[in-house]
Chains A and B, each alone.
Chain A
């Protein structure tokens, strides 16, 4: 037996797993469709919390409830500690639960997990805690599926290093789980959307905003016919769900004090604080669904009950700093990728905080209207953001479950995954309505090679002999000042061949502001080819194939005709 557990493909029962800092979820596939499993409490988002009461182990929502009454023996927010030294962890979120301790550099928790009254508390390393938690998750999944779950694909943040991954693998193996593959969270989200039957295979730039409880991660992904390349990522530990909870906690604590001037501040008392937090989180969730939410806690401080309500507008005003922080984060990562918001075709909101309607609305203001914002409040067909990771993982697990562990290792080896991505787009020259030469992209920039793309381009109206001019192209952002000549703006609009669909309302509404447009610039000429005698109203098929060694094969012919012209560019 080698270092890692492996199960023969025919004996596998696979699931997809997100093991988050705040919540985890499990998914499996039926008929190639991913379904998220509810645990025995009926939760699909299972809080990543373990609690011990009189030797009984509780996890998930039940354990979360114990944060109020039994915080010392409740472990929460431990995922990010895996594979890290004590020096490098951020224990902020563990303030109201078991505190991490330094045992020879490894992060540990001291927990009373035995039934006997006078038993010594045990010292559990974070990896042991993770193993116990994963064991519970696997247990619920096995109960649900009626079969022992043997293997899983687990999602990890893009900035998980090798040591953290190794620690996670070890913890999973110790829980008797074979890890088929660790995949990045944003990619899992993208896969969950792209695996929908109605999804189209296309070339697009996707921004995945993974907004969780304790961290926000944003990634820019080049999705090229279903192949994903991460172009840039950003991570933030301040603008997150906990920050939103904090805002509500402060708001309600102040209101409580206003109503009960003689009472003690509930935030100064551990139990009061825990109750505030618990209820604030529930209120935050309610505000994502409805416009009003109530808040009520019994015996918040000094035995005084407290009940109040808040509307969404108030909440959004209070939380503006957090929302703006998230906006800035998204903006910065797009810049980091060397792109502009106009380049982004799709924004996927993932994670629990992504339910917040305001965040999605903010995004639709940042991005042009052609960009699809995939969040429940902006797109009725959006998948539940909390489930994206688990679904993607389950789909990937379903894809690779028939492969031997060796095969998976080899296919995910750097030799296979590291490939050249072309810097400039390759396309052909076409004419716009104004008779100007414009660029029609065939293979977009940042496409992994080898790649092959085919487009059909209309021939000149009257047919006849046609020149197919293969060129490289790149984009730049054209900024038009408030009083443009109407013709130019119109021309530029058509020029934007990619997003020419419906930008008219956009330009009408925002007449006052300066206009920014993505414009293709024609670069080097690669080749010229001639197609003779094209029929009237005919189309020309243009195929560009870029090989792994960066040599290019160009073929073009009239659609429906035989033969054609073929040329090759050496690398």
Chain B
């Protein structure tokens, strides 16, 4: 809280006789407010947002914030020292510092490569305060500075970035063993392998390192993960495990020999490490359900395309076949129909011919029935004339008219009636201009 503003002008003196319950009288209320938007910026807004979202009052919030701050400090002070010290470790000889776990010596074994320089410095200081030889001397044990030397060595290694890297490279305690088949059967694949890769990721030169993800990861993410890890660029090196360290006292050749030996050993170990990582990845990808799923999906997609194509082809062939058949069928039908039509035509023509013949017979018969319109025996000339007219008329009219005429004449026996029909026909034809007047001899009016 900011210090309150001090106002120099004095307050009013209490008027005589002013009284109120608990010395306060409330009179009015606020005259109004406007809704406005505060800008979500700055530390004081953060405090406001915190209060608003957790529905805290000012004093509550101050208290909780203070508590949180206090707790954090306590944690920091507490955490590193809280690790119990292994009596075996305390009895270590500082000479074989190469074998010691520097993080454990400083009590940082749960941080390891994640420990910040700040943490290392603090841990060192704590340990020094506890294990300084002078303190031991005060407790009656003189010359007991072995563990103190261990602490100094650990700090020396861990505070030098190059040496720390070398040590981190071979810090097996920080490794997470790949899960066994048994574990995988019971446990969560992604979690178990995820921890392995999380720990391996510390060696990566490139950041951020893609993580294994989970069941819901997209294909792209999974591919990205494996691509990254199969071409993993590691800073891991194995100088720390060199068997001989070249000594200035040795001669030049000896030194070169040692260096070469070391370099070879490192190279070999590096190759082994790369192989180990590849094996890890192979094992992991072999058990990765997502890859199987993606492959199946890809196959399904591919198959789907092929099946679709095949189905389309089949359908096209069928369609073509059906079309061909239909065409053939139609052609055949058309042919048959034409044939039938021809036959029917022929029949009709024949029928018409016979009908015409029959009708002509009727026509001729009618004049014969009427005895050629003569009284008594008709003279051949009369017969000739009548029949000539009949022939003429028959020749001039078409089969329908012949049929009509025949139907009119059919059944008529009386000569006059027959003659009048003929006359009418002759007159009609003359009127139509088909026969000239002079041609008709017998049926003139």
Contact = CB atoms under 8 A, between A and B. Distances in A.
A and B are interacting partners: yes
Contacts of A418: 35-38
A356 interface: no
A396 B41 CA distance: 6
Given A411-B46, A450-B58, A525 B11 contact: no
A450 B48 CA distance: 9
B12 A466 contact: yes
B11 A227 contact: no
Interface stretch (A70-78, A125-133, A544-552): A544-552
Contacts of B42: 187, 191, 194-195, 226-228, 395-396, 399
Given A226-B42, A399-B43, A429-B12, A456 B33 contact: no
B207 interface: yes
Interface string B352-393: 000000000000000000000000000000000000000000
Interface stretch (B14-22, B133-141, B400-408): B14-22
A343 interface: no
Nearest to B57: A450
Contact of A430 (B10, B26, B50): B10
A414 interface: yes
B12 A431 contact: yes
A456 B30 contact: no
A467 B24 CA distance: 10
Given A467-B14, A472-B31, A545-B58, A411 B49 contact: yes
A466 B13 contact: yes
B25 interface: yes
B387 to A, nearest CB: 98
Given A228-B42, A399-B46, A412-B40, A550 B13 contact: no
A392 interface: yes
Interface in B44-89: 44-46, 48-53, 57-58
B162 interface: no
B251 interface: no
Contacts of A201: 2, 44
B41 to A, nearest CB: 5
B40 A181 contact: yes
Most A C-beta atoms less than 10 A away, residue of B5, B39, B48, B53: B39
Contacts of A400: 46
Contacts of A529: 20, 23-25
A17 to B, nearest CB: 14
Contacts of B48: 227, 416, 448
Given A227-B45, A416-B40, A419-B36, A526 B7 contact: no
B28 A526 contact: yes
Contacts of B12: 429-431, 437, 460, 466-467, 469
B34 interface: yes
Contacts of A438: 9
B415 to A, nearest CB: 103
B24 A528 contact: yes
Contacts of B26: 526-527, 554, 567-569
Given A201-B2, A565-B24, A458 B46 contact: no
Contact of A527 (B25, B40, B52): B25
A416 B49 contact: yes
A368 interface: no
A455 to B, nearest CB: 5
By secondary structure, the A interface counts as strand
- Chain A, interface size category, equals 35 or more
Contact of A532 (B2, B6, B14, B53): B14
Contact of B53 (A195, A225, A395, A416): A416
Nearest to A448: B38
B411 interface: no
A191 B41 contact: yes
A468 B24 CA distance: 9
Nearest to B59: A452
Interface in A490-539: 494, 497, 523-532, 539
A392 B39 CA distance: 13
A454 interface: yes
A527 B38 contact: no
B11 A187 contact: no
A528 B25 contact: yes
Interface stretch (A38-46, A61-69, A420-428, A480-488): A420-428
B39 A432 contact: no
B4 interface: yes
A420 B34 contact: yes
B21 to A, nearest CB: 10
Nearest to B21: A567
B438 interface: no
Interface in A50-88: none
A371 B268 CA distance: 74
Contacts of A550: 30, 33
Contacts of A200: 2
Interface string A76-110: 00000000000000000000000000000000000
A541 to B, nearest CB: 7
A138 to B, nearest CB: 15
A457 B9 contact: yes
A465 interface: yes
B166 to A, nearest CB: 22
B20 to A, nearest CB: 7
Contacts of B32: 422-424
Contacts of B15: 467
B29 A467 contact: no
A11 B208 contact: yes
A228 B6 contact: no
25 contacts: A187-B39, A200-B2, A227-B38, A411-B49, A411-B53, A414-B37, A417-B38, A420-B34, A424-B30, A426-B30, A432-B9, A446-B34, A446-B36, A452-B58, A455-B5, A457-B6, A458-B10, A460-B10, A467-B13, A497-B9, A528-B27, A530-B23, A568-B26, A570-B29, A571-B30
Given A399-B46, A526-B27, A528-B20, 19 more contacts: A184-B41, A187-B41, A225-B44, A226-B42, A228-B41, A411-B46, A416-B53, A418-B37, A418-B38, A457-B9, A457-B11, A467-B12, A467-B13, A472-B31, A497-B7, A531-B23, A566-B24, A567-B25, A570-B29
Interface of B: 1-2, 4-15, 18, 20, 22-46, 48-53, 57-58, 207-208
- Across chains A and B, which 4 residue pairs bring their CB atoms closest together, nearest first? A226-B44, A465-B14, A420-B33, A411-B49
